Amino acid sequence: MAGCSRKKDTFLSRNFHAVTAEYNTLYNGDVALEKGLDGLANSYQDDYWDVLPVERLEIFEDITKPGESKSPDFDRAEEKAIKAIQRHSMKIDGEENNPQMDEAFILLGKSRYYSQRFIPALESFNYILQFYPASNNIAQAKIWKEKTNIRLNNNELAIDNLRKLFKVEKKLSDQDQADAYAMLSQAFLNLGHSDTALAYIKDAARLTRKVEEEGRYNYIKGQLYNKLEFKDSANLAFDEVIDLNRRIPRKYWINAQIEKIKNFDYENGDELALLEWIEELEQNRENRPYLDKLYYTKAEYYMNVGLEDSAIALYNRSLRANGQDGYLISRDYLSLAEYNFNNAEYQLAGAYYDSTLSRLKSRTREYRGIRKKRENLTDVITYETLAQRNDSIMRIASMTEDEQRAFFENYIKELKERRKQDSIRKSEIIRNNEFFTKDNATAGAKGTKGAKGRTKGTAGTSQIGEFFFYNPTAVAYGKQDFLRRWGKRVNEDNWRLSSKQRTKLDGSGTPVDLVAQADFEKDLNVDTFLATIPTGEKSLDSLKRERDNAYYQLGIIYKEKFKEYPRSADKLETLLTFGPEERLILPTKYNLYQVYKEMDAFAKAESTKSDITSNYGDSRYAAILNNPDVALEQDAESAEAIYNNLYRDFQSQNYGPLISKLDDNINRFYGDPFVPKFELLKATALGRYKGYDAYKAALEFVYLTYPRSEEGKKAQSLLQTSIPALASKDFVPAADSVNWKVIYPFDASNKEEALAVQKRINEAIEELGLTNYETTLDNYSEAQTFVVIHYLESQSKGGGLAELLATNKDYRITNPSQVISSDNYKIIQLHKNLDEYTE
């Protein structure tokens, strides 16, 4: 043992340290590395919806802190490599004499690589290339160095170095060549060059001696052929994967089958044979872990052959299959969303879009596209609900009284029958809940199969047909059951405490405030329904305007947001049959013309164009049709210029004429992006001119009519923040005010007298040296205007100034005046309640 020094280059020393390093330290390090790789293989989730990476390695976005570890096995492998170097390195006179040290540095670099410490890994591989030029691991070191460069996004550098490798190293083994070709393919994939990546992955698949790699590389080859739209070649590549059968992991085999099914030619292929193929895969017990994918694949088949009901059932089965593929779950939800959207079930479609978004990464282009569609769908839901409601009310209102009575008698019968059916469904819900409560070990949040074979899952869908929270019967039962057990409770912590109970229970456990509703049928009365029908002309006109506007907005949304041109045409054509207001007719026809062009309905488009240019020749729409580019440019300039002029009128407080001008231009530019700006300016002018109630109503109109515009969002913000703060009409006590005004009321029609008085007050203020005070001419209402003196420090100073101006022989301003605090002046301007203040 004394003769085995690391500082002596003897036969005994060299062999002792080489053998000890190889069969002890490095052996244990290699074992730890293999254990870590097995764990990585078992835990790594491939995304089969995109081209697979050549190598399975999950990159962690968070930084590993000192003392933390992502994988203890790789850390142990690194420790063994370092120990081998420290205890067995025989570097004498700058030359390494232990032939196992290059193996130690290879192990060190690999363990650091898999621990995602790429810079230290690069140092290890560079050390081998610099100090062990005669090592038989040189090729491996070069390949691993470029793998690390690729992880560091140095793709171009890695490509150059790997190409040089083939020129320098003439005796590379097949496996080394396969590794190098695979990394070249990955580098080109990262750079977006799929065709070049395909050429190299083909060579890698041909040369590798590892069957698992062969299966993976052939699968990637098929994906790349698909990406380049060579489906026949892709199917041949997937056949190579399938032929490996049980020699490769099952996931490659099953996904290769699914990819081939996706490539099926529905126009020329045998659809029955395809269905038999899918069902054979589905019935194979070995494929049970992949039933979620197989159900989705079968659902897509049914969608392609027009059997939509069967497809919907299978999307739901896919969701209940407990799969771990989050993106597949998003595909199921998206398919259900699109199906419901296409069938005008917008509220349900919106819920499925929400579920889709919850399964997607928020920074992807797809996420942003679906989120935008979901936001637009909110408008569709609002307008469709409004249109259907008003259509129904107007249809019933147009009936004779006898027809109305017959209608509601039938409706009451339907309600009673529906209540009876709901009772049956409630009982089924109770039985299902009891069953799943008893079997809670297997009936988890995502759904399992119980002893009787019933299934309940996350699709939002149970065996009775609907997701609990989208099933009004189930929700009503849940609420009633909660009230029966607990009474009304405050929504806060410790809600179970008896002190939190807000409604007492009677002896049967039913909340007292629900007892009055126990007899459902007594509340169903024809006269009660008849009393709710609007009869006044004003009410019916209001319903009609709302309905017509909803149809117009739906036509525009379907056209511009969803590109659903047939639906847009249907809404706009239907609107014209209603005999809408004149302001709607022309923009409706113009948008119909555009829709017809998109649908290639050229005869209808030309007919509509001729109608507009013949009957509305002086309109802006006719000008656009006759000279599109020039007219649109002039129109945009015109709208902006008009808005700027109207805003100057607003600043001048010419509210009455301004509101009339705004109405004219809203009609003129109806459908133009500038209209919401006109509407918001009108709302503000109405607030100044007619007060709080008019302001609030106008803001609500802007928000409901243009919810997606910036002006609609501004109106919503004002309704939520400013309007509640302005609602109070209570006057502020004088003692709480520090700023006062003197107001001189004048008849609005006698503006010249008001201006003359304002001029005399300004002259008096100047002569008296009261330069801190200012005057304005403020509009109060259609009938009244004020000359106002501002910035008085107290009520007494305001009264004194008014008296001075009235009694001084040089001024003689004897018009009636009133001293008012600034706070109360705001209130009277908002609520137009000067008389109340005076009293």
Measured from the Cβ of residue 96, the count of other Cβ atoms closer than 10 Å reads 17
For residue range 164-211, what is the model confidence (pLDDT) as tens digits? 988 888 788 899 899 999 999 999 999 999 999 999 999 999 999 999
pLDDT of residue 441: 41
For residue range 473-501, what is the model confidence (pLDDT) as tens digits? 555 556 666 666 666 666 666 666 555 55
Q: Nearest 10 degrees: CA dihedral of 539, 541, 547, 549? A: -120
Residue 689 DSSP SS3? helix
- By mean pLDDT, which of 53-57, 316-320, 452-456, 487-491 is the weakest? 452-456
Best CA proximity match to 731, nearest among 795, 797, 825: 825
pLDDT of residue 719: 87
Over residues 648-668, mean pLDDT: 84
- By mean pLDDT, which of 325-329, 355-359, 750-754 is the weakest? 750-754
pTM exceeds 0.75? no
Distance CA 775, CA 764 (A): 11
Over residues 686-702, mean pLDDT: 88
pLDDT of residue 809: 81
- By mean pLDDT, which of 10-14, 146-150, 162-166, 206-210 is the weakest? 10-14
Distance CA 26, CA 104 (A): 7
Is the predicted pLDDT of residue 465 greater than 90, yes or no? no
pLDDT of residue 68: 58
pLDDT of residue 420: 78
Is the predicted pLDDT of residue 234 greater than 50, yes or no? yes
Strands 818-821 and 740-747: antiparallel
Is the predicted pLDDT of residue 93 greater than 70, yes or no? no
Could you tell me the end-to-end alpha-carbon distance of the chain, in angstroms, rounded to an integer? 114
pLDDT of residue 641: 82
For residue range 728-766, what is the model confidence (pLDDT) as tens digits? 888 888 887 889 999 999 988 888 888 999 998 988 888
Is the predicted pLDDT of residue 562 greater than 60, yes or no? yes
Side-chain-side CA neighbours of residue 255 (13 Å): 21
pLDDT of residue 4: 57
pLDDT of residue 463: 40
pLDDT of residue 168: 84
pLDDT of residue 656: 84
Cite the DSSP H helix spans in 522-670: 526-531, 537-560, 565-577, 582-598, 602-615, 620-626, 628-651, 655-668
Residue 779 DSSP SS3? strand
Backbone φ and ψ of 682, nearest 5°: -60, -40
The confidence band for 12, taking pLDDT boundaries of 50, 70 and 90, is low
What beta strand segments (E) does 395-460 contain? Answer: 456-457
Distance CA 267, CA 409 (A): 52
Best CA proximity match to 235, nearest among 221, 249, 245: 221
- By mean pLDDT, which of 113-117, 163-167, 452-456 is the weakest? 452-456
Is the predicted pLDDT of residue 439 greater than 60, yes or no? no
Over residues 447-476, mean pLDDT: 44
Residue 475: which residues within 8 A CB-CB, separation 6 or more? 468, 469
pLDDT of residue 69: 57
For residue range 245-262, what is the model confidence (pLDDT) as tens digits? 989 999 999 999 999 999
Q: Which one has a higher pLDDT value, 133 or 696? A: 696
Over residues 25-54, mean pLDDT: 82
707 DSSP 8-state letter: T
The 3-state secondary structure of 205-239 reads HHHCCCHHHHHHHHHHHHHHHHHCCCHHHHHHHHH
Question: How far, in Å, are 317, 365, 371, 519, 796 from residue 357 at the CA level?
Answer: 20, 12, 7, 43, 64
Residue 272 DSSP SS3? helix
Over residues 342-362, mean pLDDT: 89
pLDDT of residue 459: 39
For residue range 518-542, what is the model confidence (pLDDT) as tens digits? 445 566 788 888 888 888 888 888 8
Is the predicted pLDDT of residue 149 greater than 70, yes or no? yes
pLDDT of residue 489: 67
pLDDT of residue 611: 92
pLDDT of residue 515: 40
DSSP states of 471-494: -HHHHHHHHHHHHHHH-SB-SSTT
Is the predicted pLDDT of residue 467 greater than 50, yes or no? no
Over residues 388-406, mean pLDDT: 90
Is the predicted pLDDT of residue 10 greater than 80, yes or no? no
- Answer for the pair 359, 523: CB distance below 8 angstroms, yes or no: no
Is the predicted pLDDT of residue 683 greater than 70, yes or no? yes
pLDDT of residue 771: 77
Q: Which one has a higher pLDDT value, 746 or 506? A: 746
The confidence band for 616, taking pLDDT boundaries of 50, 70 and 90, is confident
Q: Which one has a higher pLDDT value, 786 or 41? A: 786
Over residues 764-789, mean pLDDT: 87
pLDDT of residue 444: 40
468 DSSP 8-state letter: G
Is the predicted pLDDT of residue 461 greater than 50, yes or no? no
For residue range 295-310, what is the model confidence (pLDDT) as tens digits? 999 999 999 999 999 9
The confidence band for 338, taking pLDDT boundaries of 50, 70 and 90, is very high
Over residues 428-433, mean pLDDT: 60
Most confident of 328-342, 454-468, 632-646: 328-342
The confidence band for 443, taking pLDDT boundaries of 50, 70 and 90, is very low
Is the predicted pLDDT of residue 225 greater than 90, yes or no? yes
The confidence band for 617, taking pLDDT boundaries of 50, 70 and 90, is confident
pLDDT of residue 262: 93
**What distance lies between CA 714 and its chain's CA centroid?**
21
Query: Taking all residues of the chain, what is their mean pLDDT, rounded to a whole number?
Result: 81
Which single residue is written with the structure tokens 């101006």?
805
Over residues 560-580, mean pLDDT: 91
Q: Which one has a higher pLDDT value, 493 or 269? A: 269
